[in-house]
Amino acid sequence: MKVRHIPYQAAIIITLGVYLYYLIYRIRYTINPESLILSLSFLYAEAHGFLALFLFFFQIWQPAARKAPPPNFGLSVDVYIPTYNEDISILRKTALGCVNMRYPHTTYILDDGNRPELAKIAESWGCKYITRQERKDAKAGNLNNALRSTNADYVVIFDADFVPQPNFLDKTIGYFRDPKVAFVQTPHNYYNVDSFQFRINKKKEQFWNEQDIFYKLMMPCRDYWNSTFFTGSAAVFRRQALEDIGGIATGNITEDINTTILLYSRGWKGIYHNEVLSNGLAAKDLKNYHTQLLRWAEGNIGLLFVNNPLFIKGLTFSQRVCFFAVIFGWLIGFPKLIYFILPPIMLLSGGYPIGSFDFCFIWRYAMFLGVILIGFKFACRGYGKIRYDESYLMMNFFIFIKAALKNILRMRSVFKVTGKGLQASANLVEIIPQSLVCLICFGGIAWGWLKLYYGVSPDFMGIGVAIFWSFVNGFLAISGIELVTRPYFKRKEFRFVGAIPVRYSIPSVSDSISNVGVSRDLNEHGISLVTFSPLPMDKKISLSLYLNENILSCNATALYTAHEGNMPNYLHNKMFIYGLKFEDLSRDEMDLINRYCFDTIIPRFLQKFGKKSSVFLKIFYKFCNHERFRKHVRKKITIPLIIYNNGKPFLTAVTNDISVVGLSFTSYVPLESGTILSMEIFTPFGKCFVEGEIKQMREIVAENSYFVGIKFSHFFRNQEYVCSMSVRKDDKESLERWLKIVATGNN
């Protein structure tokens, strides 16, 4: 046991101990015989919560520490992309990502939609095409059909919307040196952060995804128990292992976990490589999200009837616990329904699930609740967000109940493909359960206040507690309804959030405009561009996009500009934001943009926004980084700069932060510490020419992204910089003026 895990494990033990004490106290002293149904219902929900928390904590006891072994060369690998009705533009991105993986392999499109147009175009992508006449067993049958049609020793599976990084196989294939390893699973990451499953704070450089706690915490910890499982995509299999169990498991709509249990029962091992090596599309709206969730819930609960991990032979004790935990986790709908509606029922009926809301119960309940909240948050190592988790449980509890009832009644499950099309707001039918919870909660609150106001009941403590929890549940319902019904911007293709330098010009005007700007977001159809000079709305604009070592020259048209009300006063008429649409890009040029977005922008975004720190470290850094402790504070500002070598442009980049004494930027090539760089910095108030020394250089994303920290040594006046690199006269005016204005917000 490593020392660094002991604090988390101690928190787990203390939290479960307090929960158990509270539960025993509840059973012995607080059952209300006058409202026995309410009382036993509430006790069931709390007992369910204890078992669920125990199973969750068992799974996250300790993460496995793995480092990718070097790849085995000379192995035969087939890559499968199963598809049914996904848009070909989505499938193309996945296919090109697969084809561009460096390790030698063959890529197959497995088309269950039997589309002739896809058969023709697959070859141009560098893929082979396999189809079949019937769709028996859905995705599992499609994969098994491909296994019979190919013969490579290793098989990689990607869903139609999952785009791998070039080094995917380099990072995973080496694990198969162990002859008992059946599969290697990697995390699922979703790049469309505008989906309602995300919360993103660009100012704080933080984002939260509903599935973070599963892929970033639970799966690495399950790997410690040799209980990680195949999650349907972004995984590598040993063909021999699949043949040992007769192929991908059928008979259950969640073929992934079913296949895993069969593999473990035969003595095979699974590996979880905890590094994002591919990126997919999250469900964009509530309807498709619930379609996906219902399929997962039905299939996982269905394991109670097919390959039940408690009884199937060959599993270890820890594997049985971990896989039963998966099943039990999907049964949370019933206790959540009790928690959501019991407080308003108390107010409306006058019946209490607790014998007496006296001081003895209140202090124990407060202690229990506080320990559970703090212990859960601490044990989750920064990945658990209680408010967000509860909000999503409010949106999903009815789906969990539906899945459980369908399994109990043994109703037939149907595999439905999750839609990846245009995002749409939820309609009223989809939010009926949450609307009813909201109605009953606020109805109960109103009735409770009336009872107190008119003296119908003197029980201020009991009614107060019920009103408080009714308000909390009503707030969760309202916030969820607001989230999924708000109007969405109807852009079909997601824009990747990232800053790249862009040179722009309008050669057709007499007073030619030429400058360098920076992007806010980008995809193969257009770009949001920040400029320091106005652009015309009715003329073609020439752009040069700096995509690492590639410079893509193209034309674009400005479709809109940000309203002045969205711009700070000190930047009016000095900085502009335009939405540009690319014109007449070739398919190869669009592919170049897509490859840059998936291979560079997404990894940099994850590195920047995906950091997790403990509460104590956050407080420490906030205190130490306070402005009063630093003479020159770095501002997180993205502006373009050009780096020169022997008087010629060598690298065009974008700053991460900047002050009057230095800056940092991200380079796609490594640079040596101590090197003196000459730079041209673009600001809304003019250019600034400087020399600086590299003080820091470190790799932040494997192979193509390096953090470079610069300390300024000399500033130049513009004309002197052009005439002679040896002139040493200071001219910080434009940079100092801008940073001062940004800091104060004044003109």
554-566 tens-digit pLDDT: 999 999 887 655 5
What is the reported pLDDT for 619? 53
Indicate if the pLDDT at residue 490 is higher than 70.
Answer: no
Convert 501-558 into a string of H (helix), E (strand) and C (coil).
EEEEEECCCCCCEEEEEEEEEECCCEEEEEECCCCCCCCCEEEEEEECCEEEEEEEEE
531 lies in some domain: yes
The lowest-confidence range among 166-180, 217-231, 639-653 is 639-653
Domain match, 404 and 531 both: no
309 lies in some domain: no
Domain match, 180 and 102 both: yes
Q: Six-digit token pair at 96?
A: 């090109």
Task: Kindly provide the b/e burial profile for residues 498-528, where b requires at least 16 CB atoms within 10 angstroms of the residue's own CB.
Answer: bbbbbbbbbeeeeeebeebbbbbbbbbebbb
DSSP code of 487? -
Q: Which domain holds residue 665?
A: 619-744
Which amino acid, one-letter code, is at 610?
A: G
Domain match, 478 and 525 both: no
> Alpha-carbon distance 282 to 420, whole Å?
8
> Alpha-carbon distance 195 to 175, whole Å?
34
Domain match, 474 and 508 both: no
**Mean pLDDT, rounded, for 304-322:** 95
Domain match, 250 and 113 both: yes
> Alpha-carbon distance 107 to 390, whole Å?
41
> Alpha-carbon distance 299 to 327, whole Å?
9
332 lies in some domain: no
Give one DSSP letter per residue of 266-280, joined into a string: TT-EEEE--S--EEB
Domain match, 190 and 85 both: yes
What is the reported pLDDT for 206? 81
Q: Six-digit token pair at 425?
A: 């707001």
Indicate if the pLDDT at residue 51 is higher than 90.
Answer: yes
274 lies in some domain: yes
What is the reported pLDDT for 745? 45
Domain match, 344 and 462 both: yes
678-to-362, 501, 719 alpha-carbon distances in Å = 67, 17, 15
To the nearest whole number, what is the mean pLDDT of the chain?
Answer: 87
Q: Six-digit token pair at 289?
A: 């999200």
Greater pLDDT, 647 or 360: 360
What is the reported pLDDT for 627? 45
Give percent of the chain with pLDDT exceeding 90: 64
Indicate if the pLDDT at residue 356 is higher than 50.
Answer: yes
pLDDT digits (tens, 9 = 90+) for 85-106: 899 999 999 999 999 999 999 9
The answer to whether 555 and 506 are in contact (CB under 8 A) is no
What is the reported pLDDT for 566? 59
- What does residue 623 show for φ and ψ, rounded to 5 degrees? -70, -45
Indicate if the pLDDT at residue 229 is higher than 60.
Answer: yes
597 lies in some domain: yes
> Alpha-carbon distance 134 to 141, whole Å?
9
Quickly count: other Cβ atoms within 10 Å of residue 41's Cβ: 20
CATH number, domain of 697, equals 2.40.10.220
What is the reported pLDDT for 536? 87
- Residue where one domain finishes, among candidates 603, 631, 655: 603
Indicate if the pLDDT at residue 137 is higher than 50.
Answer: yes
Domain match, 534 and 463 both: no
Q: Is the dihedral of CA 69, 72, 78, 79 positive or negative?
A: positive
Domains in the chain, number: 4
CATH number, domain of 217, equals 3.90.550.10
> Alpha-carbon distance 711 to 645, whole Å?
17
Q: Six-digit token pair at 220?
A: 């690495």
Greater pLDDT, 500 or 417: 500
**Mean pLDDT, rounded, for 417-426:** 60
The answer to whether 333 and 401 are in contact (CB under 8 A) is yes
Domain match, 640 and 673 both: yes
Quickly count: other Cβ atoms within 10 Å of residue 27's Cβ: 12
- What does residue 740 show for φ and ψ, rounded to 5 degrees? -65, -40
What is the reported pLDDT for 45? 97
pLDDT digits (tens, 9 = 90+) for 590-627: 999 999 999 999 999 998 887 665 555 555 555 555 44
The answer to whether 592 and 154 are in contact (CB under 8 A) is no
Greater pLDDT, 327 or 635: 327
157 lies in some domain: yes
- Residue where one domain finishes, among candidates 282, 306, 329: 282
- Residue where one domain finishes, among candidates 485, 512, 530: 485
Indicate if the pLDDT at residue 568 is higher than 80.
Answer: no
Indicate if the pLDDT at residue 192 is higher than 60.
Answer: yes
69 lies in some domain: no
CA proximity to 132, closest of 152, 153, 147, 121: 147
Domain match, 502 and 543 both: yes
67 lies in some domain: no
Give one DSSP letter per residue of 18-69, joined into a string: HHHHHHHHHHHH-B-GGGHHHHHHHHHHHHHHHHHHHHHHHHTS------PP
CA proximity to 252, closest of 366, 399, 412: 412
Domain match, 173 and 38 both: no
DSSP code of 194? T
Domain match, 117 and 260 both: yes
pLDDT digits (tens, 9 = 90+) for 653-696: 999 988 888 899 999 999 999 999 999 988 887 788 888 999 99
Residue 301's pLDDT band (boundaries 50, 70, 90)? Answer: very high
Indicate if the pLDDT at residue 731 is higher than 50.
Answer: no
CA 636 to chain centre: 23
Residue 648's pLDDT band (boundaries 50, 70, 90)? Answer: confident
What is the reported pLDDT for 411? 80
The kind and range of the H/E element at 694 are: strand 686-701
What is the reported pLDDT for 721? 44
The answer to whether 706 and 667 are in contact (CB under 8 A) is yes
Indicate if the pLDDT at residue 66 is higher than 50.
Answer: yes
Which amino acid, one-letter code, is at 270?
A: G
